[in-house]
Amino acid sequence: MLTKTTMQEIQDLKLQGFTQAEIASYYVSHGKKPPRRPTIAKYYAMDVIPENPGEKLVKDKAFEKEPFKSAVLRILENNEKNDAIS
């Protein structure tokens, strides 16, 4: 995933009148690896950069919810006891 700075840079170049192909060339001419064309197209088409771009990627962890949390803690406690015996 791109950094928020790179996303904003694509938007800024768009506002300056750069085409998507010119944006890729811009990165190359500045010695940077350009984002892939579909990525440039995605952020070029956006009007506003999302506040938290990775938000959709965050998932709830199953072990933080009951009954999983207590089961995981019991297993870990039992493993510690078994490790101490060995």
Q: Is 32 left (phi over 0), alpha (psi -120 to 50) or beta?
A: beta
Cα 20 off chain centre by: 22
The pLDDT value given to residue 38: 94
The pLDDT value given to residue 80: 78
- Using 50, 70 and 90 to split pLDDT, how confident is the model at 50? low
Tell me: the pLDDT tens digits for 9-45? 999 999 999 999 999 999 999 999 999 999 999 989 9
Tell me: the pLDDT tens digits for 51-83? 766 666 566 776 777 888 888 888 988 887 776
